[in-house]
């Protein structure tokens, strides 16, 4: 049986800022953009979270929730430097480290450099080494698989350590809400609840065919998770499935020429990423969010993959004609490349259906 850790730094960006500026300690802090523009919260300290301030909400709303909120502009170079310290500790313990972001990762410590048979002791030592190296705290979950370890790491934040041993799995998970399931976002959770499925026990109680009628092909996966089953290994070198960029604008774009200029630049940035990695992409995706927050995605796929900047830009620009950009104000634009391969054509890529990519 595997011994999996999920280690998650506590309020990472905000904690780094509080560490480096004593005047911020014990105060409600949000890292992010301008509340008078379209800034959003990238991270919130635990003092700010008590007021309902959370990452990804508009900074203007955060200020309304917490009038005493201290806003700090992000310094990603600094956060990356701290992240490198943390991941160096992870990789000193095991080569099986799967990063999820700058501040969290899965580790398979079934075999580890410390020859420690108890995963909880590995987790406790990792937390101590992180604190000694960075003066920051991390929360850790210990479990037989990734799904359970992820749940466990969030159980006692901040500075938490939770173990879900095999004998405890049933008692721990049966009454968890459906939101805890991997792949269940707000829309899927709402669909499940509309059918009376509130907890993991409810998922298990439903016939598989009934569940398929609610969530489609996701049903069997959710049943496995609801029983605490997850056979996914920790993947230290998980290949990129896509790449791209997007931008939320301080002022809506109303001119088609402005939209085309922005899309062209993003497309060429995506092509440059492909060039640096010497890989190709079959699919170009355009994302447009209008001023009323309505969001649409459009995609175009070809049998032959490419990394040619002119071709990718031409395909991205052609997708604009399938949107209402130029007729409706645009708040956000994004361009990304998908269906990546090492060669212009691969058997796997050639067998994939063309058309629109799924977006939830």
**Selected catalytic residue, list 17, 104, 129, 262:** 104
Cα three-residue angle 88-143-52, rounded to 5 degrees: 80
* 232 found inside a domain: no
Question: Per residue of the chain (360 residues), what is the pLDDT tens digit?
Answer: 899 999 999 999 999 999 999 999 999 999 998 888 778 898 999 999 999 999 889 999 999 999 999 999 999 899 999 999 999 999 999 999 999 888 999 999 999 999 999 999 999 999 999 999 999 999 999 999 999 999 999 999 999 999 999 999 998 888 999 988 887 888 889 999 999 999 999 999 999 999 999 988 889 999 999 999 999 999 997 667 788 888 888 789 999 999 999 999 999 999 988 988 888 999 999 999 999 889 999 999 987 889 999 999 999 999 999 999 999 999 999 999 998 887 775 433 333 333 333 332
Q: What is the pLDDT of residue 118?
A: 96
Give me the CATH number covering residue 65: 3.40.1170.60
CATH number for the domain harbouring residue 315: 3.30.1490.100
Q: How far is CA 137 from CA 106, 117, 120, 158, in A?
A: 17, 24, 16, 7
Angle at 99 (CA atoms; ends 309, 285), nearest 5 degrees: 30
- pLDDT, position 345: 55
Among candidate residues 230, 233, 209, 210, the one with its CA nearest the CA of residue 221: 230
The tokens for 273 are 């990423």
Annotated catalytic residue 104: yes
Supply the range of the domain harboring residue 156.
4-10+77-169
- Contacts (Cβ under 8 Å, ≥6 apart) of 294: none
Render pLDDT for 267-278 as a digit per residue (tens, 0 to 9).
Answer: 999 998 898 888
**pLDDT of the residue at 185:** 83
Task: Give yes or no: residues 143 and 47 share one domain.
Answer: no
CB count within 10 Å of CB 261 equals 13
How far is the C-alpha of 95 from the C-alpha of 265, rounded, in Å?
37
- What Cα–Cα distance (Å) separates residue 20 from each residue in 13, 17, 48, 215? 11, 5, 18, 46
Last residue of a domain, one of 76, 92, 110: 76
Torsion angle in degrees (nearest 10) through CA of 155, 159, 161, 162? -10
Whether residue 97 sits in one domain with residue 68: no
Instruction: Tell me: do 123 and 149 sit in the same domain.
Output: yes
Q: State which of 22, 46, 76 marks the end of a domain.
A: 76
Q: Which residues make Cβ contacts (< 8 Å) with residue 198, sequence separation at least 6?
A: 177, 178, 192
Q: Of the candidates 76, 99, 127, which is a domain's last residue?
A: 76
What SS3 class is residue 321? coil
Q: Residue 12: CB partners within 8 Å, gap ≥ 6?
A: 43, 79, 82, 102, 103, 136
234 falls within a domain: no
Total domains in the fold of the chain: 4
């Amino acid at each position: 049986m595997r011994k999996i850790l999920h280690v998650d730094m506590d309020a990472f960006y905000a904690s780094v800022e509080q560490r480096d500026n004593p005047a911020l300690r014990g105060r409600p802090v949000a890292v992010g953009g301008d509340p008078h523009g379209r800034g959003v919260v990238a991270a919130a300290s635990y003092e700010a979270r008590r007021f309902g301030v959370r990452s990804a909400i508009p900074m203007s709303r955060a200020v309304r929730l917490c009038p005493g909120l201290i806003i700090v502009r992000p310094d990603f170079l600094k956060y990356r430097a701290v992240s490198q310290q943390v991941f160096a500790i992870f990789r000193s313990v095991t080569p099986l480290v799967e990063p999820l972001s700058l501040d969290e990762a899965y580790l398979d410590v079934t075999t580890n450099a410390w020859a420690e048979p108890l995963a909880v002791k590995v987790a406790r030592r990792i937390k101590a080494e992180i604190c000694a190296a960075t003066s920051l705290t991390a929360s850790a979950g210990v479990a037989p698989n990734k799904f359970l370890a992820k749940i466990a790491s969030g159980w006692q934040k901040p500075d938490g350590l939770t173990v879900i041993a095999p004998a405890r799995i049933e008692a721990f998970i049966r009454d968890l809400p459906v939101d805890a399931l991997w792949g269940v976002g707000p829309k899927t959770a709402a669909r499940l609840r509309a059918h009376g499925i509130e907890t993991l026990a409810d998922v298990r109680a439903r016939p598989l065919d009934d569940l398929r009628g609610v969530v489609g092909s996701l049903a069997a996966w959710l049943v496995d998770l609801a029983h605490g089953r997850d056979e996914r290994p920790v993947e230290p070198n998980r290949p990129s499935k896509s790449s791209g960029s997007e931008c939320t604008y301080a002022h809506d774009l109303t001119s088609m020429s402005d939209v085309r200029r922005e899309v062209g630049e993003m497309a060429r940035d995506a092509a440059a990423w492909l060039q640096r990695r010497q890989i190709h992409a079959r699919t170009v995706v355009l994302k447009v969010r209008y001023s009323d927050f309505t969001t649409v995605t459009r995609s175009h796929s070809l049998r032959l993959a490419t990394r040619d900047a002119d071709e990718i830009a031409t395909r991205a620009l052609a997708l604009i004609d399938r949107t209402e950009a130029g007729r409706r104000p645009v708040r956000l634009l994004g361009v990304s490349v998908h269906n990546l391969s090492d060669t212009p054509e691969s058997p796997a890529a050639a067998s994939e259906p063309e058309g629109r990519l799924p977006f939830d």
